[in-house]
Amino acid sequence: MTTPLITTSRWGNKDGHTLDGYIKSGGYQALQRALGLTPKEVHEEVKKASLLGRGGAGFPAGVKWGFLPENVWPRYLVVNGDESEPGTYKDRILLERDPHQLIEGCLITCYALGLSQCFLYVRGEMAHGQERVAQALNEAYEAGYVGKNILDSEFSVDIVLHWGAGAYIVGEETALIESLEGNRGMPRLKPPYFPASIGLYGKPTIVNNVETLANIPWIVLNGGDAFAKIGAEQSTGTRIFAVSGHVNKPGVYEVEFGTTTFRDLIMGEEYGNGIRNGNELKAFIPGGASAPWFFEEHLDMPLEKTAVDQAGSMLGSGAIVVMDNTTDIVKACHNLVRFFARESCGKCAPCREGTSWLEKILQRIIDGNGRSQDLDLLLDICDNISPGISWPPKQTTICPLGPSAVSPISSAIKRYKEEFDKYLSKSKPNIPVQIKSGAG
């Protein structure tokens, strides 16, 4: 397969992260080209490309951009570089190895939409990424690519590097905005459903993922139509996937949407290269910790949004986590639920209380204190967080974090209930029953 490399073309270059290295490999030509077009024309190209957001929800960028209300200024661009979803590993490499590509994407976006300031939010733990971006910005400012009168045009915009400080929920776009305003990263209530109308400082704001924006220079340089020709009808272009877990060759791969299948990625020689130690596949997560699990029978499904959605999961953040037959499903399930419990922002009662309750029950089962009624209880708690336990999830919460904790539990119990039963059969629980004495 010869996949055109759109976002990862410089990863192999030693100097891909420097201004020189970037320019040598065709960098900042898209910006030049964009400045020759009108802002509207640039936006048109992105619309034509049908570029889906790469942050998880997969919403078309060009359409989202169109939600900006007219004549309300200033407007902002917020770059979501908070990458924290378990299994997800792509934005960090984009930041470290090709920061200028992202910067160029940001500049073009600001130009197209009249955004007057760009905040590049990089996850706190990514010290190296921050250094690379800071270095790149410093060079780009000096060379006149960022800041006042970019390339001697009337176009001026600042890109401000902003740091996170450790909180997964801040990846959710409204929480990201809260965090950028200096607040606790708690998601805002919807509506408005998109920050495009009321976002940062109450002003129109576009939030895009790092990978999404990294596609912009290519699109502007090669045209939206060329982009749309790559990949599948509904999922255009390429996508970066991180394949991790029990595979022979874990790695981060840019592949063409739609034409590639999960089997290619997990088993294909140039990608995951099969399950380690010749073991069998037990399950895999197709799109980050929040996604319901897939199994053997899903392997031949193409990497394409519509197909995966219909099968009851999502491509989400491009994270494929492979579990082989040695995996303790209950522990894996506990591991994922613990993640959501620890990362709940605490705003909604069902998420704050429910996820940690789920975690405690799973821990208790693992510790040999499970009770026969615990599986029903687990599912009922799940149902109270995400009524109906279906996909896409219904929710009693504000954001999808709480319901995400339901995915591993329902996936695991549905497919591997016997593993839970094995724990329960060995349990000798000794738990006093508490009576709600107080009320009344």
Ligand X SMILES: Cc1cc2nc3c(=O)[nH]c(=O)nc-3n(C[C@H](O)[C@H](O)[C@H](O)COP(=O)(O)O)c2cc1C
- Footprint of ligand X on residues 368-397 (CB under 6 A)? none
236 versus 317: smaller Cβ distance to ligand SF4: 317
Q: Does 84 bind ligand X (CB under 6 A)?
A: yes
Judged by CB under 6 A, which of 16, 53, 185, 199 binds ligand X?
53
Give 296's Cβ-side CA count (13 Å radius): 7
Question: Per the structure block, which two tokens stand in for 14?
Answer: 């030693």
Judged by CB under 6 A, which of 86, 105, 171, 224 binds ligand X?
171
| Rounded Cα distance, 93 and 366, in Å | 36
Q: Does 44 bind another protein (CB under 8 A)?
A: no
Residues whose CB falls within 8 Å of the CB of residue 42, separated by 6 or more in sequence, listed in order: 34, 108, 111, 112, 220
Question: Per the structure block, which two tokens stand in for 187?
Answer: 């998601």
By CB under 6 A, the residues from 298 to 327 that bind ligand SF4 are none
Q: Specify the stretch interacting with ligand X by CB under 6 A; choose among 75-83, 236-244, 249-257, 260-268.
A: 75-83
Binding mask 271-310 for ligand X (x = CB under 6 A): ----------------------------------------
Q: Does 2 bind another protein (CB under 8 A)?
A: no
Q: Does 105 bind ligand X (CB under 6 A)?
A: no
308 versus 345: smaller Cβ distance to another protein: 345
Q: Specify the stretch interacting with ligand SF4 by CB under 6 A; choose among 51-59, 72-80, 371-379, 397-405.
A: 397-405
90 versus 188: smaller Cβ distance to ligand SF4: 188
Residue 60 falls in which region: left (phi positive, over 0), alpha (psi -120 to 50) or beta:
beta
Question: Minimal distance in Å, beta carbon 343 to another protein?
Answer: 7
Nearest Cα to Cα of residue 102 among 182, 213, 260, 21: 213
Question: Minimal distance in Å, beta carbon 229 to another protein?
Answer: 28
| Rounded Cα distance, 91 and 96, in Å | 9
Nearest Cα to Cα of residue 121 among 58, 65, 180: 180
Q: Does 348 bind ligand SF4 (CB under 6 A)?
A: yes
Give bridge partners of residue 433 from the DSSP assignment.
Answer: none
DSSP state of 392: S
Question: Per the structure block, which two tokens stand in for 75?
Answer: 């407007």
| Rounded Cα distance, 399 and 390, in Å | 16
| Rounded Cα distance, 265 and 187, in Å | 34
By CB under 8 A, the residues from 149 to 188 that bind another protein are 153-158, 160-168, 179-185
Judged by CB under 6 A, which of 6, 150, 176, 398 binds ligand SF4?
398
Q: Could you tell which of another protein, ligand SF4, ligand X, none binds residue 426, using a CB distance below 5 to 8 A set by kind? A: none
56 versus 274: smaller Cβ distance to ligand X: 56
Amino acid at 192: P
Judged by CB under 6 A, which of 347, 361, 409, 413 binds ligand SF4?
347
Question: Minimal distance in Å, beta carbon 35 to ligand X?
Answer: 23
Q: What is the 3-state secondary structure (H, E, C) of 176-215?
A: HHHHHCCCCCCCCCCCCCCCCCCCHHHCCEEEEEHHHHHC
CA dihedral (385, 388, 390, 392) positive or negative: negative
Q: Does 61 bind another protein (CB under 8 A)?
A: no
Judged by CB under 6 A, which of 18, 101, 179, 212 binds ligand X?
212
Judged by CB under 8 A, which of 263, 352, 415, 422 binds another protein?
352
Exposure b/e, 297-308, CB count within 10 A at least 16 = b:
ebbebbbbbebb
Q: Which residues bind ligand X (CB under 6 A)?
A: 53-57, 59, 61, 80, 82-85, 169, 171-173, 207-209, 212, 399-401
